[in-house]
Structure 1
Amino acid sequence: MKLAAHYNKVNIIVTLSVLVIGAVIYFFTINKITNNRLDEELGEEVSEVITYVHQNQRLPEQFDIDENQVEFIKTNTLNNKPRYFDTTYVNPRKGGDKSGRAFEGGLDFKGDKYRFRIIISSESTVYLKQIITLITFILMLVLLTILSLVNRYVLNDLWKPFFGLLAHMKAFNVSESSAFTLTNNKVDEFTDLDNAIAEMSSRVKKDFLNLKQFTENASHEMLTPLAVITSKLDTLIQDETLKKEHFDQIQDIYGAAGKLSRLNQSLLLLVKIENNLIADNDTLNLNQLINDKLKQFQELTASKEIRIYAEISNKEVIVSKHLMDILLNNLLSNAIRHNQIKGNINIYLTDEKFIIQNSGLKSPLNSISIFDRFQKGSTSEGAGLGLTIVKNICNVYGWDIQYSFVNNLHTFSIIF
């Protein structure tokens, strides 16, 4: 859920809760005030009745004047405490049950005990409470509507600088030379965030350029002595007076120099891939690339008598041809190099995934660390960077690569 949605949700819930609680308190307060006002009127009516009894020494007749009703009931006991309460009564003039407010108390007159009740109409107060409740409800709806509109338009406009900064950060590319563009906004917090991001991007680009320059310089400086070593070794190997034991030692040095050169190129390639410095993307026919690569490795597979089964469908991908060639080269060379004599290689290509399987070791590899740098088997002669490069190429294009051991076959699956 987005930040604005979270804010709107909390804001509306809190506002609605406050309004409902306030409306309930307001209703009971109005109800209390109106009841007190009716009780005051009832008190005046009670005073008039008692005054009438004392002055005339007789009970007034039951009457219904101005929608007020008074009745006396003789009783044997006089234990009723005076009380005010809401009730309904029948109004002969208007007919039907009407809302009223009543007082009930006791009266001792000429040795007899009476319970008398006075009822006055409360319809005006009921109507008033209904009007107040309706107005309160309408105000709640209006307030919620205004609040929703404010949250939708005003707050969205207020958050525009944030979304602008977010878009800049998503589009940020450390390899681009263009500077981070500051947004113009009036909110101090966004201005501080803007400046912090600009400073951070400038520092990151500077560090990246320094690292890139160091890597390229180091790679270039390493190639020069390696070329000199290889050239000198070539000269020594051609010496006819060279003894066999010396020749074998030179061959070992020659192999180590070649391995060091390949390691240097692999590390440099990793840096370029991880920083997305290879962007020559084209629309390529993947099934054609796989068939071409199988022809290139035909001699190697034939030398180990490896049987190849390929089930390849048409699949187009938008990738760098150079990176795709490296990916296929590493996967196929691993499948051949780590295979057994008269082993098997199965290749499947669909619109959703690319799978390559090979026989070899009878136990599965570590699926967690297999794609880490310099992770290799005890019999491997490589630098342990091939699968790391494959993994990084997949990350560049948003593909998922997985390893599994199925039916004694080492399986690498690339899910597009």
Structure 2
Amino acid sequence: MKLTHYISLRYIGVSVLVMLVSIPVFYFVLQSVLTHNIDESLQDQKTLVTEKLQNLHDKNFLILENEITVVKSSNAFSKDQLFTKEIYNNIENEKEFYRILQFSVKSDGVNYNVQIKESLVESEDLLKIILKLLISILLVLVGTLLIINYNIKQKVWKPFYKTLEKLKQFRVDKVDELNLEKSKINEFNDLNFSLNELSSNNKKVYQSQKEFTENASHELQTPLAIVQNNLELFWQTENISAQQAEILNDISNATSRMSKLNKSLLLLSKIENKQFSETQNVNLNLLAEKFFKNYQEQIKFKNLYLKTSLSEIFIVEIDENLAEILVGNLLLNALKYAPKDSEVEVVFSENELLISNLSDGKALDKEKLFNRFQRQNNKEKGTGLGLEIAKQIANAFHLNLSYEFKENRHFFVLNRLN
């Protein structure tokens, strides 16, 4: 949810809630006030009627209006009664609510029971009008808040959205600086200033890190190449003993492994720094077929049976060189750790690549499998970076690489993120 919507919903929600609570409270308070006024009017009429009855002579009996009823009675009311009652109105031909006051008056030894009533229709009509007016005010208030919110979003928050758009397009590996514009709002200016400083510092740190990685890799690669060349020259000399040959072989293997490790770490650094930005649609099926052709000798040596399904094409938008490394690392991992005379399964679908090989009976640790320098076992020599490189490449191009163990087989699945 956007911040403007979040704030607006809170303002509108609180305003509507206050109005919804206020309207019935106001209605009942106003109803109570109107009823109280009617009660006071009834009391005033009671005083008037009482005075007239006490000054009344039998021969000149007072005829009062319809709302006032006077009846001679031997049984007087014990006390004054004030209540609301629904009574049929002959004139309006409908039932109406009346406020009624009943009391007794004694004049010249004669008891009179008096009933004074006053219609509540006018009060109810007034309350309905006021209620409709309040509801209209509520609707106008909500509409006004929505319009204000829209204007705020279009004008006040415009610099913020500009900043957000530039941040989305900003990359530390590009030459262009962030250069966020000034705004009329101080908070946005503070934000833009901080982001400009942060982006500038990050670009400097990134450039320094990039140069260090490249220089360190180059400087390491050069002496390693010299050592390897000198070893090859030494191999060609005469009178090398068996012990010397074994030592030279160990040095050569260690140098070769160090060179591969150096290249792998450099590749990981480049992937993490997103230095591979040229992408295209790459057919992973073709890369798998190319891999199988290049590794026919290894497959024959371990007498592995390849069960492949390449009928469906899995196309990914990715850097082509990285795609080749990704597929190659996964397939090489399966060939390397598959037992001799076993089956390696490779299945392609439109959105997925599944690679499985037979296990030695143990599942791999999912938590550590894709970490650096993790190997499935110590029998096979390697850098321990192959699966981590594959995982980093997958993450960089919106793919998911996962591992499962079932039916005594390792399954590596590469698919698109939803």
Coarse TM-score class (shorter-chain normalised):
over 0.9
TM-score (structure 2 length as normaliser)? 0.92
Q: Is the counterpart of residue 76 in structure 1 residue 75 in structure 2?
A: yes
Matches of 1:408 and 1:112, distance apart in 2: 112
Matches of 1:316 and 1:167, distance apart in 2: 30
Change (3 A) 1:310 1:300: same
**Which residue matches 1:288?**
286
User: Secondary structure of 2:238's match?
Assistant: coil
**Which residue matches 1:361?**
360
- Say whether the 8 Å CA contact 1:49–1:60 is kept in structure 2: no
- Say whether the 8 Å CA contact 1:290–1:328 is kept in structure 2: yes
Q: Is the counterpart of residue 7 in structure 1 residue 3 in structure 2?
A: no
Matches of 1:332 and 1:128, distance apart in 2: 84
User: Aligned letter for 1:380?
Assistant: E
**Which residue matches 1:398?**
398
Deviation of 1:388 (Å)? 0.4
Matches of 1:37 and 1:98, distance apart in 2: 18
Deviation of 1:292 (Å)? 1.2
Deviation of 1:412 (Å)? 0.7
TM-score (structure 1 length as normaliser)? 0.92
**Which residue matches 2:336?**
337
Give the CA RMSD over aligned residues. 2.2
Change (3 A) 1:203 1:76: same
Deviation of 1:92 (Å)? 4.9
- Runs of 4 or more above 6 Å deviation: none
Matches of residues 40-59 of structure 1 in structure 2 within 5 Å? 40-57=40-57
1:231-262 CA distance string (max 9 Å, x none):
22122221112222112101111111111111
**Which residue matches 1:348?**
347
Matches of residues 374-393 of structure 1 in structure 2 within 5 Å? 374-376=373-375, 377-393=377-393
User: Secondary structure of 1:362's match?
Assistant: coil
Percent identity of paired positions between Structure 1 and Structure 2: 28
Matches of 1:319 and 1:29, distance apart in 2: 71
**Which residue matches 1:372?**
371
Deviation of 1:226 (Å)? 1.1
> 5+ residue gaps in structure 2?
none
Change (3 A) 1:192 1:83: farther
Change (3 A) 1:344 1:154: same
**Which residue matches 1:413?**
413
**Which residue matches 1:176?**
174
Change (3 A) 1:397 1:115: same
Deviation of 1:360 (Å)? 4.1
User: Secondary structure of 2:84's match?
Assistant: strand
**Which residue matches 1:34?**
34
Matches of residues 211-230 of structure 1 in structure 2 within 5 Å? 211-230=209-228
Pairs aligned (count): 413
Deviation of 1:150 (Å)? 2.2
- Say whether the 8 Å CA contact 2:54–2:106 is kept in structure 1: no
- Say whether the 8 Å CA contact 2:284–2:315 is kept in structure 1: yes
Deviation of 1:93 (Å)? 4.6
User: Aligned letter for 2:278?
Assistant: D
Matches of 1:319 and 1:354, distance apart in 2: 15
**Which residue matches 1:322?**
321
- Say whether the 8 Å CA contact 1:4–1:156 is kept in structure 2: no
- Say whether the 8 Å CA contact 1:99–1:123 is kept in structure 2: yes
